[in-house]
Every structure is written in C-alpha cells, then in structure tokens.
Chain A
C-alpha cells in the first residue's frame, strides 16, 4: 500500500516586511512629485459658471491660466473687474502685457492651452479684449473654464 506523507510547504507563512520602507518611499516620492503646494494667490473672485458639454484637460502642464473677475478688496467686498495673470493684476488700460507673457510661453511650449477662468458676472467685452491679445500672441488654443453641471457629459 502506498504510503502517503503529509505535504508540508517549505515556505514560511509570514509576509516579508523588509522591503516595506522601500515601497513606502516609492509612494512617498510619487506623491511628492505630483503635489503642487503653491497655486497662485487669487486676487479676483472666481465664481465659475457651469456647463454640460465640457471636456477635461488631462495635460495640466500645458495649461496657463488667466483669471478674470471682480477684484477682492476685502473678504466679501468686490471692486471692479480685473484680469490676473500669475500673481499680478494686469493694468486695465494696457492688455499688451498678456500678449507678451503668452507669446513667451507659446515659444516655450508650442502646445500651450490658455484657460480663461472667468467669473460668471464678468462682461464679454473684457473677455473679448483678452482673446484679441491671445490671437496676436498666437496662443490660439483656449479653454473657457467652467464647473461641471449636473448630468454633464465629458468628452
């Protein structure tokens, strides 16, 4: 009669934990790289409208933002509509600064997308003026930044 021997696995039952710090370090480095600690300090109100037929911009590093909205004078107190690029407000009588900045960025990154983050109460005149400057700067890909409306489909 055949003799059966109970099979015994040679491996130990414990999960090896020696490589745990390495795994955690890799995760840590990933999050450190992904994190953007400082976004610009907003000097204008950003109450965006929502829209249904929107698309999302996956390549975040191609995007430059132009902020438009009433200037925040004090918390809850708003002044005239102003334009902000990076950390500074643009002189309302001279939008050529936008053109110069964006032309430089367009040279550095030809696939530049300019995202217009416009407060819902702003008027179309100021938006149009910015668009004219962008055309002259040859930064033609733009995005009207909106929030996602309920039931929206993203392409």
Chain B
C-alpha cells in the first residue's frame, strides 16, 4: 500500500470535533399538540423507543467516524502496487496500421485501443504525465508529455486507423527519446500484434497491450497500373493477393475501370499463398481503376426457378439475359457478398487512377488520299486537321504529316513525310525504283511493332530511295536499292520519311498500314518510351493483410498484467464511492430512527 498525499492526514483531526459534538447534549425540540390521546395509542407511555436505544447514539457516532475515515483515506490517495512516490512518465504508442480496422467479435481494434488509452488516462495520478504517439505510415506525436486530462482525451479520441502499414520501430524509438533519462518512465504499446517489424517490441521499459483476436483475412497487397510504353492504348496492372489466413479460400478478383467490369480472375489460395499477376488491358481513356475481391458466386439454381420467381409469371423467364435473370443474379451476388465475412474490409478493395492518353493534334498536308485520312482519323486521341496548302507556321506540339507536298525547308517539330515528291533540306530523292522488295532491318523498333513489311507481305510498286543529309536510322529498305523508310532525331524534332507511293501497291490495303501510321504518330508524340505515371491507393503492405499476431508479440505481457504492473489505478475513487454509500446508508437509518 502506497500513499500519495500524506499531508491530508491532518483532516483526521475532524474526528475530535465529531466526538465533541457527540458529547454535547442535544436539546430535543418541543412540539405542542392539542391532545396526546392519539399519540398515547400509537406510542405506549413508558415503553422504550428502541430496544437498542442506548446504542443509537453510539451507532450514529461510529457511522460518522467511519465516514470521516473513508474520506480521509481517499484524500491520502492510496494505491496498491507500483511505484507511487515518484511521478511517472508514460508514453502511449497506438498502432495505426490498416489491420487495426479489423473487427473482432465487437468493436474494431482501433476502438479497443482507444479504450485502453482512456483506461490509461483514468489511471493517471495528478503528477503523472502522458504522451501519445500514433504509429501509422508516419509516426506522429498526438500529444506531448502532459498531465492535462482533457488534452489527453482529445488526443485519444482522435486516433484513427490508416490504410497503410504501421512503422512501429520509429514510434518506439521516438518514445524512448521522449522519456530518455526520465525516472519512472514507461512505454505502453497498444497493438494487435500484426506488425512487420515485431522484433522492436522488446525491452524492460516496454509494455505491450494486445487488442483483438487472430483472424483470417485475404487482401490485396499490391496494386499498381501503368500505361504500356510500346502501346499507348494499353495498360497493365500489377495485382498481388495474399491469403493471410489459416484456411484455403476461393474467391475472384474483379477489375473495374470507371465502373465498367474489365477483367475477372478466379482465385483459389492456399493458406499463406501469395498470388501475383500482371494483367494487360486496353483503353484509351483513363479513370478510376478498382480491384475488388469478391466471393465466388454460388451455383445458380435450376433454370426457371429463380427466374420464374422474378418474372411474375410473364413467361419470359427462359431468356438467358432477361432482366429477371439479371436481377436474380445480382441478388445472389449481393447475398454472397454479405455471407462472405472478411475481418478486414479495407484490403478487399484497391483503387488507382489510370491517366488518360494525351490527345495529339495532327496536321495532314496532302493533295488528297482517302486511306491516309481515314487511318489518321481512326487513331484514338488524335485531333486531325487536313489541308492541301503548305502551312506558313505550325502550332507547337502539332505533328505534321506531309503527303506528297513537302516544303523546301522543313519546319521545326515532329514531322511524318509520306511519298515526298520533292527533295528538302534533309533528304534527296533518288530515281524511282522498279517494284522493290522491302526488308526491315530495324524490326525491333517500336515503329515497326506488329508490322511486317518484308518477305513479300506488302507489295510496293512505286518507291524512291532516300539519301538523308542528317543522322538517321533506316527502318526499311528495298533490296538492291536504298532506304525507303527512315527515322531521324535532332534537337529540332523527330522526323520520319516513308517514300512509298500510296496510290501504287497494296500498302494502304494491308493491316500493317494503320499500325504503321499509328506507331509513327505515337513515336512522334515523343513520350512513347516513358511509362505514364499512375496513382495507386489502397492495398496494404504484405504484413498488414495478416491479422494473425506475430509470435514474438504474443509472448509479451497481456493487457491485464501490464495494467497491474505499472499502471495501477488509485483507490481514492473507490473510497469516495464507499463513503457515499455509507452516507446514504446513514441517511436511511436516520430517517427510520434506527440511529440518532
């Protein structure tokens, strides 16, 4: 037994005053009555008022002395166990990782952690100080060392679980710095034990309060989309799903873009299995990309039963895509979702923003070619402008396609030249070749991706060899002739020249032609080899999907032991409550005159 306020013992001198008042003779109040004949019927004359009459006064005295003793004892601030004389310095570290959102049988783990915090604040003595640290993705000091209870309570109530991992190591290190060299310093860590760096929870000054129970969980632990460098219309998504439970699960992974389902992956995961996959999809538009874990749908009931139930006898239930059947399927899906219980809902869904493909202005200078116009217009995200006059100026960022009409001096910028009729400052044209046979020495180039020009795949009847005056790369050449498709890069911009007459041969009729033009436009845009950034959200770190506490943590002190060891609750509250009960009892006995 320790006493926190021995100076309050002086209050016990009040007992002398109580005894003095007891010794004084109390003058009984005189009450005149018109007649005593009724009182004589009620109270027989000569009969003692109480069998224990002489003890009534003593009983009252003892009750008041006991009441005083309880109040003085409460003022002495006694406590059981723990160091009592020195003020304590306590740091409360609360795990804010995503796993703290898990709900066990009752409230969430973060709510249990808040309760532990309130209990800790309630147990503080007037001289004790407490600091509160939140261990989330970043370590935050919610409240410095203080004994001001309202501030501490505000800090505890403001603790929320995050969607990220908890950096417990940093938090514990910061806590040790806060209470460094302080006597009676303690660090109380409230966590569910699902930590990647659980080895930091050791030390004599550390007490771990575990909240929650081990739970099975399946979660998305990685989710990262990106635009493909080779194909601006396509994107790929890295998804990783982890079964952190102790039982195999069957479920499916759904991928949605702007609310439209784009992919479904059925999964069967063994305990502790990690499933990782890169999914490739095509979309010119970006938007909100969502990966969601859903339960495997239950087997549909026999044909007609569910649909007939929903069709209200309309007779259309046998149609496979009838609204009634779709509605029944939706109800089954919702029922499956409700029936599928996952302890941590936060990692069942991951979101990311897929960037839009940037639109490209293309200026086509041609004396007329329907194939070329249609191909350019069909490329997504291309704003096409057609003219038959050589432009005086070219807007910045615009890709200019010269077909047959070529200026003597090419402007700065990205330029595609098809079937030039004249030479320019960057090339000279050779004589027209006999029907050439094309070879594509640079078939690995992204400009020729999915395009086969060689080996007679394309018949070209009219082409002129190019003699470039700048550094260039030959993409395709005629056998025995010169290059007919070249690329060049300079500080002024990129240049592609294809010296094939589109009106002769079957190149515009081949599948390769729109791909060739699309590759060329994309290359001229200039960002083809840079992956477009995307913003990922949701999907916790691998350890955070695991709701099974680490073994090292389970060996630490349980909550009750931690509380009894260092954070003992003072007894003044119980003593005051007992005094109040005694006061009520004394009042009750006095009202019935059992005591005087």
A joins B in a complex: no
